[in-house]
Amino acid sequence: CANNPGESRQIVGLGFYGRDTSVYYGSATGWEPFGIERTITRAENNTVFEIDGEPALDLYRRYLGEHAGQLPMISLQYPLGLQNERGEYTVRSVRNVNTADQSLVFAGDIPVGTKVRFMKTEVDNLIRAGSKTANESHLKETADLVFVVSCAGRRFVMNRLTEEELEAVDGAVGAGAIIGGFYSFAELAPSSRVNPCDLHNQTITLTMFRETGPRFDK
């Protein structure tokens, strides 16, 4: 019930309806793949044991080179990209490492057989992803309300430039829009207009609302 205190392991649903309410959405990462395509060959839920038959942690260490000693934090700058049948990538971040079995624990499941590539970015690309999301949402006029969910991992990578991501969103959705949101440890959104909702990491998602009928004073 709405008047009860909040508890853990609960989901809150919020619905909007009405003929005059239009809802737009979008998501973007700002990450790009590099290196050869690889295959997850042994995994269980969100723990990956082998990639191309090689212990996952060994492979990550080889890619990171001199930065391998900074695991698992450095992995926020080099997540994995999971490729779907349309060639699009969903980002997965390393949450922990297990030196005993050389496995990697990710912030989301990765099934056996998934095609993956390592991902990289620059801060400017992360910032531009905010405006890219709004521009590709088919929003034709200024939004009234914009709900932003950006990954805490992005905030770690952008560091002192974090505010510029929100400024990019503000500039893309139109003057007068009310913007709110939070940083998360995972995001839920479709990867494109034709894909179902999916779990993302290191991603920014926007949900935008616009009233098109008679208006009340704000």
State how far the Cα of 202 lies from the Cα of 163, in Å rounded to an integer.
16
Tens digit of pLDDT for each residue in 181-198?
A: 999 999 998 876 666 788
Name which residue leads in pLDDT, 172 or 106.
106
The residue type found at 51 is: I
Residue of 192, 170, 159, 177 lying closest to 28 (CA atoms): 192
Task: Return the structure tokens found at 77.
Answer: 């700058």
The last residue of a domain, from among 75, 92, 120: 120
The last residue of a domain, from among 120, 141, 159: 120
Residue 101 within a domain: yes
89 in the same domain as 41: yes
Least confident of 73-77, 124-128, 139-143, 183-187: 139-143
Residue 217 has pLDDT above 60, yes or no: no
Least confident of 33-37, 65-69, 118-122: 65-69
State how far the Cα of 112 lies from the Cα of 39, in Å rounded to an integer.
8
113 in the same domain as 41: yes
pLDDT at residue 193, rounded to an integer: 65
**Banded pLDDT at 146 (limits 50, 70, 90):** very high
Name the domain count of the chain: 2
Tens digit of pLDDT for each residue in 23-64?
A: 888 899 999 999 999 999 999 999 999 999 999 999 999 988
pLDDT at residue 35, rounded to an integer: 92
